[in-house]
Structures are given as structure tokens and as C-alpha cells.
Amino acid sequence: MAINMKGKNLISIADLSVEEIYQIFDVSKSLKEKLYTGESHKYLEGKTLGMIFTKRSTRTRVSFETGIYQLGGIGMYFGPNDLQLGTSESISDTAKVLGRYLDGIMIRTFDHQDVLELGKYAAIPVINGLTDLLHPCQVLTDLFTVLEKKRVLKGLKLAYIGDGNNMAHSLLNGCSKVGMNIAIASPSGYKPNKEIIETAKKFAKYMGSKIEITDDPVAAVKNADIVYTDVWASMGQEQEAQERKKKFAKYQVNPKLVKNAKDDYIFMHCLPAHRGEEVVNEVADSPNSVIFDEAENRLHVQKAIMALVM
Ligand code: CP
Ligand code: NVA
């Protein structure tokens, strides 16, 4: 039975039920097939998605805008200087006004609280396209990609090597919800958020999977089915890049490290990658790497999200 998700915000994977997550995957698969075979799927004919960006983006911007167009609707891009938002108008007033024109909002910004506030006051669905805290659309896509490659999710082991950032947080939310084991190796001072770890541990216990937080990248990668990494300095942390390069030097995903994973492991990265830092070409361009399938799937999964909530 289909679950009605119309009107729902998509701000964190922690807010989704396991059934809703698998429904998103089912719709993603069907939309991907329809796109490949040329079957019309204009489920959002005449609808408008507002796309607010206060940070840069390649994948999120292009996949959302193309996605809404393929669904029969239109995307409206707002860059950092386009709206009155935040500077000369409150988030709540902006949310109430945008809700009178648009059918959905996708937002990428710094402060997660701003997205929660937008979601609270907009009478239309709000989709989180990345905050400093979370990147749910990316991780739903990542899990969909794992499902395509490995046919199952439950019981697999994902090793995340690097910064305890928005990617690590959404991976904790996502893996624990679907019963995947997740091991995160980060240097001290750069571990994931404690509250998110605790919540993930509860879901993991319920689903029978394990969460491991360690300093040791080799231990994390041991027998992993998926090796995942992300940049050491995220958007907004550019001034810390040099210092972080030193602190994360031991956390590079390279051929020596991935030898500890299963032979048929897959390498994943949300991209953009800083090649030569968190990952080297020998891994990113190896037959085990699925980074471009992963990037493509942003389109299919976000179309599913839009079709379901808008
Ligand atoms: N992975 C991702 O969100 O990429 P962009 O920053 O290019 O949107
Ligand atoms: N952690 C990165 C992810 C980019 C998709 C950032 O926030 O910049």
C-alpha cells in the first residue's frame, strides 16, 4: 500500500519511516526506468519548485532543476543575493509568502535551524538540499545506489573515513534506519555530533545493526562493503583547509587503506572530491568506484522525493 507523503517536509532522514524510505527507492527506480525508456512521467505538471541557495552547488542545483522540468514543472533559482530572506525579512514571513506562490521549496544553506524554521512556517513541502548539519537527499541517493549495486542494504557495512560533518550525520541517520552497519573513523575533535550518534544507536539497535565511532581508519574499513569519504573542509570552512589537511593526513582513502575492505567493496563520495586529499585517483577511478552512478542517481531520487511530497 502506498504511503501518502504529500505535503511532508524532507529535512532529515531521521524523520522518515523505514517504509517511506523504501517507497522513495521504489519510485526512484520506476522514474529512472521511465526516463531511460522515454515514457512520460509528468507527475508535477504546472508546479513550481523554488530553489534557494546560499552556498555553491553543481549536482544539487542541476539535478533538482532538471528533475522538476522532467516531471512537467518548473524550477526557480534564488542565489545568495536574490531574496529578502534573512537580511531584510524574517524566515517566517518569507516562508508564509513563498507558500502562497510555490508548490515546494528546496533550500541549501548554512544554519540547519533556518531550514527547520522555513519548514515550520511554509505551507508547502520544504526539502533540505544540504545544511552544515545534514545532507539527506545525498544519503537517500547513496542508499539507493547501494541497493542497486548490492541488491540489499540490511547487514552491509559502510565505512566512512574523514570529517564528522553533514555527510557523516546523514549517513548515521540513513544507515541506522535501514539496518546497515556503519563505522566512522575521524580524528579527535572532528567526530560526528553526539546527539545524532545516540539517535542512530537507538535505530541501529532496533534494526539489529552496529554503529562504531573510532580514530582508526583501518579498523573502520575492515571487511567493509562500502568505503565512503567526503572533503576534509566543507563549504564555509575554507579558512581551516590548511590546518585540516595536517589533521586528516592519516585519513586518506588510498589503495593501501581499501585493501582492508571486502574484495567487492564499492567506493562512494558525494562529490565534489578534492583528489589527492581525502581520496586519490587510484581509488576514485578504480573499477570499485561508483561515484558517477551515485551522482546520476541524485536526479532520480530527488524526482521521487518531489513527486511524493509535492
Ligand atoms: N554532492 C552535492 O551535493 O554536490 P553539489 O555541492 O555540487 O550540489
Ligand atoms: N561536506 C560537504 C558536502 C558537499 C556536498 C560540504 O558541506 O561542503
Dump pLDDT digits (tens) for 208-263: 999 999 999 999 999 999 999 999 999 999 999 999 999 999 999 999 999 999 99
Catalytic one among 61, 142, 269, 270? 270
The per-residue pLDDT for 70 is 98
Question: For a pocket test of ligand 2, which of 184, 270, 271, 294 has the largest count of ligand atoms closer than 8 A to its C-beta?
Answer: 270
What's the pLDDT score for residue 83? 87
Residue 42's domain spans which residues?
13-134+296-309
Q: Is residue 4 part of a domain?
A: no
Determine if the peptide bond prior to 217 is cis (ω within 30°): no
- Mark whether 298 is an active-site residue: yes
Residues 86 and 178 in one domain: no
The dihedral sign for the CA sequence 44, 47, 50, 51? positive
Q: Could you tell me which of 158, 161, 163 has the C-alpha nearest to residue 217?
A: 161
Closest ligand 1 atom, residue 135 Cα = 3
Q: What is the mean pLDDT of the chain?
A: 97
Same structural domain for residues 105 and 168?
A: no
C-alpha pair distances (Å), 264 with each of 68, 151, 223: 35, 13, 10
Q: CB of 215 within 8 A of CB of 187?
A: yes
Section 183-206 average pLDDT: 98
List of E strands, 217-302: 226-229, 266-269
> What is the pLDDT at residue 86?
73
Q: Are residues 234 and 163 in the same domain?
A: yes
Whether 95 has a pLDDT exceeding 80, the answer reads yes
Q: What is the pTM of this model?
A: 0.98
Instruction: State how far the Cα of 78 lies from the Cα of 308, in Å rounded to an integer.
Output: 23
| Same domain, residue pair 128 and 180 | no
Asked whether residue 163 falls in the same domain as residue 267, the answer is yes
Alpha carbon 186 to its chain centroid, in Å, reads 19
Angstrom distance (rounded) from CA 272 to CA 9: 26
Would you state the pLDDT for residue 202? 97
In tens, the pLDDT along 274-301 reads 999 999 999 999 999 999 999 999 999 9
CATH of the domain at 112: 3.40.50.1370
The residue ranges of DSSP E strands in 154-298, in sequence order, are 157-161, 181-185, 211-214, 226-229, 266-269
The rounded distance, in Å, linking the Cα atoms of 276 and 296 is 23
Mean pLDDT of 174-179: 98
Protein residue whose Cα sits closest to atom 7 of ligand 1: 58
pLDDT at 270: 98
Do 130 and 142 share a domain, yes or no? no
Query: Considering only CA atoms, which residue is closest to atom 3 of ligand 2?
Result: 234
Tell me the three cell numbers of residue 270: 558525494
In 3D, which of 130, 99, 45 has the Cα closest to residue 140?
130
The reply to whether 244 belongs to the active site is: no
Told to judge if 216 belongs to the known catalytic residues of this protein, a careful annotator would answer no
Quick one: 17 exposed, middle or buried, by C-beta within 10 A (0-12, 13-18, 19+)?
A: exposed
What percent of the chain has pLDDT above 70? 100
**Residue 165 placed within a domain:** yes
What pLDDT is recorded for position 25?
98
Short-list 37, 55, 61, 64, CA closest to 305: 64
* Residue 250 is assigned to a structural domain of this protein: yes
Locate the ligand 2 atom nearest the alpha carbon of residue 235 and give its number: 8
C-alpha dist (Å) from residue 112 to 5, 12, 103 = 22, 10, 21
Q: Which residues contact 42 (CB under 8 A, 6 or more apart)?
A: 70, 71, 72
Round to whole Å and give the CA distance between 171 and 228: 10
Give the closest residue (by CA) to ligand 1 atom 6.
Answer: 57
Longest dimension (CA), the chain: 55
Query: Are 115 and 161 within one domain?
Result: no
- Lining ligand 1 with CB less than 6 A are 57-60, 130, 138, 270-272
Residues 130 and 242 in one domain: no
270 tagged catalytic: yes
Catalytic residue status for 274: no
Amino acid at 114: D
Ligand 1 binding pocket mutation candidate from 55, 60, 64 (most atoms within 8 A of CB):
60
Q: Which ligand is nearest to the CA of 270?
A: 1
DSSP state of 279: B
Structural domains counted in the chain: 2
156 and 261 inside one domain? yes
Residue 109 inside a domain? The answer is yes
Tens-place pLDDT, residues 32-91: 999 999 999 999 999 999 999 999 999 999 999 999 999 999 999 999 988 888 778 999
- Of ligand 1's atoms, which has the minimum distance to the CA of residue 130? 3
